[in-house]
Chain A
């Protein structure tokens, strides 16, 4: 009778190999932590801890630029009971949605061209060139282009296409979204290029060999595999555009009050940091809701399989 001694560990081949390489793997893991530690440290110190402090402060009370520790929901209740908060939020969400959608959609074919159709990075650099000018310069440049006496209106009138300058070109939602798309486009392009570079051309060729059309390859291969960069592009741009209040103020006309400005007022003018913090966290909740909604839509369309395809 054979007796199996269960107390002895049975070392399988791969496990044995793993054990033999443990020292090496540990070193690899350690070096990974070491490489990741500076940004992690930065994020913890300058983002996570301040965010927690802001969250705590949102439950405090305030008087004359000084805060008193408390545990009250009054700031949240006050923000949620103000109609102005909802109105400004609606304007901000519209700015964010249209900017994110247009930036992502416009960037997609350009990213495809950069990754699969050309070896040159010229187009990418061209898109990034706009980063070399300041944010405000770009906003004022658009005001000059879209203005009553701007390039577009002057040209249209010179050509006899319009009798009067098109007033809606500037100080309108159109002007805000156009400018924000111009500002955000390099972000979405970079994220999409980065996502597409992970999808090897072999997959696309295999799809074609199996008889899939270009549209099917896009829908069934590229989009599911690149969904994380698509979601990143959209959300990154959405959050930045919806939070922005400089462009809406300079180009949005008299009805361009966004939540960002309402929050900034609480921090800078009123000195009511707890109320500002509560509003900021409400805005964060809305952003997370939009993120969940976007993922839900993509999953419903089988475009977000929740798998990792790359190493």
Chain B
């Protein structure tokens, strides 16, 4: 019997010489593996779950990643959430001839007309969303014209909130109207968040065109921006985002923000600086994010089930607490922390909504009124003082 060592095959009987890698083979293999790994990172995930899969694009904190984890586990569902930094991210992905596949996404107030015109929305069967019922939902958000028209539901309001003046009470007195921001003491101490759409309604309100917004004629539009110029003189820098506005308040670079998210004071407090909200007599800029099913949706029944879960009182309360926002399900109100409950004055919502309105967006195309694109351009010109 030949010894294994004599055969050269070892005890496995495999010729190690034969399988030894040549340098070129190794490099080719390594290159192929790298390319495979890289290309594989673009491939859609392989979802083992049997309950279904959802592709969601929305605002961070509003896609139920943590709040609906237990439900996903119980139902064997996988959800891939991606986050939009602004509404344009969503529009860009759904527009054009090759839109991205999404089962659920969101539109901010006013974009319903734009998306309707672009044909991006699918009607929603509310019979599959029992939580979206008149006895649950704050009346303003139940079948309101922003989400319901032509006898069909196109969007389901999820959370709402306000953008208003945020100030440092140690540095400035509480502004009770927008004109208070023109106080000489605030020269070079004010910032605007560079999110045009959330400022536009306020620009119209300050100029006295609140009732007409978002349909302003060219003359009204020019006048509104002319009247905004003194506020620009007070401005030190345009904050790149809400987070940047928080950073500017905390570092003491500015003492007031023209219009910032309601969660700004809680964010600055976390970083050791006390700031406060002020809803001036002209009102705040309201926002409301609505879930909608885009044309590219694949699993619509599951998307409807997801919407229903997000409207449950417990889920609403958790999401609103994370986002420091308002809930649309009235049954979630008692579950909210006291400071959040008081900020939105749920006991007097009618009065609140009388003062601060749910505004739409300027028209995409119009011969009579200034269009959305013209507002964008003018906002850029205003920032650049061109």
Residues of A within 8 A of B (CB): 63-66, 83-84, 87-88, 91, 140, 143-144, 147-150, 167, 170-171, 246, 249-250, 252-255, 257, 261-262, 265, 268-272
Verify A249–B373 contact, CB threshold 8 A. Answer: no
Give Cα A66–Cα B238 distance, bound, in whole angstroms: 30
Verify B376–A269 contact, CB threshold 8 A. Answer: yes
A255 to chain B: which residues have CB within 8 Å?
384-385
B117 to chain A: which residues have CB within 8 Å?
64
Q: A63-B365, A167-B188 are in contact. Are A84 and B91 (CB under 8 A)?
A: no
Partner of B251 from A149, A253, A261, A265 at Cβ < 8 Å: A149
- Output the least CB separation between A88 and chain B (Å): 6
Give Cα A147–Cα B92 distance, bound, in whole angstroms: 36
B95 to chain A: which residues have CB within 8 Å?
64-66, 271
User: Does B67 reach chain A (CB closer than 8 Å)?
Assistant: no
Verify A249–B238 contact, CB threshold 8 A. Answer: yes
Residues of B within 8 A of A (CB): 86, 88-89, 91-92, 95-97, 114, 117-118, 188, 194, 196, 232, 235-238, 240, 244, 247, 251-253, 364-365, 372-373, 376-377, 380-381, 383-386
Q: A147-B253, A257-B386 are in contact. Are A249 and B194 (CB under 8 A)?
A: yes
Q: A149-B251, A271-B95 are in contact. Are A64 and B384 (CB under 8 A)?
A: no
27 contacts between A and B (CB under 8 A): A64-B95, A64-B118, A65-B92, A65-B118, A84-B381, A84-B384, A84-B386, A88-B384, A147-B253, A167-B188, A170-B253, A249-B194, A249-B238, A249-B240, A252-B237, A253-B237, A254-B232, A254-B236, A254-B237, A254-B238, A255-B384, A257-B386, A265-B376, A268-B86, A270-B373, A270-B377, A272-B373
Verify A257–B384 contact, CB threshold 8 A. Answer: yes
Which residue of the partner chain A has the closest CB to B371? A270
Give Cα A88–Cα B383 distance, bound, in whole angstroms: 11
Q: Which of A87, A140, A252, A268 has the largest count of B CB atoms less than 10 A from its CB?
A: A268
Give Cα A147–Cα B249 distance, bound, in whole angstroms: 12
Verify B91–A65 contact, CB threshold 8 A. Answer: yes
Verify A149–B385 contact, CB threshold 8 A. Answer: no
A167 to chain B: which residues have CB within 8 Å?
188
B380 to chain A: which residues have CB within 8 Å?
84, 257, 261-262, 265
A84 to chain B: which residues have CB within 8 Å?
377, 380-381, 384, 386
Which residue of the partner chain B has the closest CB to A275? B373
B377 to chain A: which residues have CB within 8 Å?
84, 265, 270
Which residue of the partner chain B has the closest CB to A172? B237
- Output the least CB separation between A60 and chain B (Å): 13
Give Cα A65–Cα B372 distance, bound, in whole angstroms: 12
- Output the least CB separation between B81 and chain A (Å): 21
Verify A148–B381 contact, CB threshold 8 A. Answer: no
